[in-house]
Structures are given as structure tokens and as C-alpha cells.
Amino acid sequence: MEQVKAVNVQELKRMQDDQFDFQLIDLREADELEICHINGTHIPLGEIDVRAQEIARDKPVVLHCKTGRRSYMAALFLQQQHGFDNLYSLDGGIIAYAKEIDPNMTAY
């Protein structure tokens, strides 16, 4: 079975702080984005297939959602259907980020 690579929130924060060259994609819906966000390109999960060309192939790409379930499924889909090999799912999603990295962030 094909596996999805993952990063935890500490690794993501280090990538952000070090200004590492990567793409961050937020798979949540627009109303979720209004509650809290950590920047990144907004591509809702339902649009991932038709917007796959917006996803970088030449650098690491971190996909995130609320809990990590949608980002895992999106990474698996993109690997299988579009041949990506540079995708990472954010373990625990933005909930983990809010809890462990930015406690002032509004969680939902």
C-alpha cells in the first residue's frame, strides 16, 4: 500500500522560521479559513483534482486541513492520480498547530 509522508507541527514551524523553500496548501473550506489560518495557498479539497497544476512539483509541498484526515486523503489521491512524490500531510492539522505552536490562534 502506498504511504503518505508526513510532517508534524514542530517541523512545519521550523520550515516557516527558516524560510525553507516549500509550498503550503490549505485544503479547508472558505468558512474554516475565516476562523484561523497559517497562510498558504487555499485549494479546498473538492477542487484538488482540477487545480492540481497549481501544486509545485519542484519543492516539498505540505498539505494541511483541520485534523490531518483531508490532507492525508488529498496526498494519497494526488500521488495515485497525478504522480506527485513531493507531498507531506500535516499531522494533526491546524488543530495541532494551534495547540502546540500558536495557543493564541482560534481553534474550532
* pLDDT per residue as tens, the chain (108 positions): 569 999 999 999 999 999 999 999 999 999 999 999 999 999 999 999 999 999 999 999 999 999 999 999 999 999 999 999 999 999 999 999 999 999 999 988
**pLDDT value for 79:** 97
Q: For strands 41-42 and 61-64, give the pairing.
A: unpaired
Instruction: Give kind and range of the element (H or E) at residue 69.
Output: helix 69-82
- Distances 53 to 22, 28, 50, 56, 88 between C-alpha atoms, Å: 16, 18, 8, 8, 17
- What is the Cα–Cα distance from 70 to 15, expressed in whole angstroms? 21
Q: Count up the domains in the chain and report the number.
A: 1
Catalytic annotation, residues? 65
The residue type of 91 is D
Report d(CA 22, CA 83) in Å as an integer.
18
- CATH number of the domain bearing residue 76: 3.40.250.10
Per-residue pLDDT reduced to its tens digit, 84-108: 999 999 999 999 999 999 999 998 8
Q: The domain containing residue 29 runs over which residues?
A: 5-101
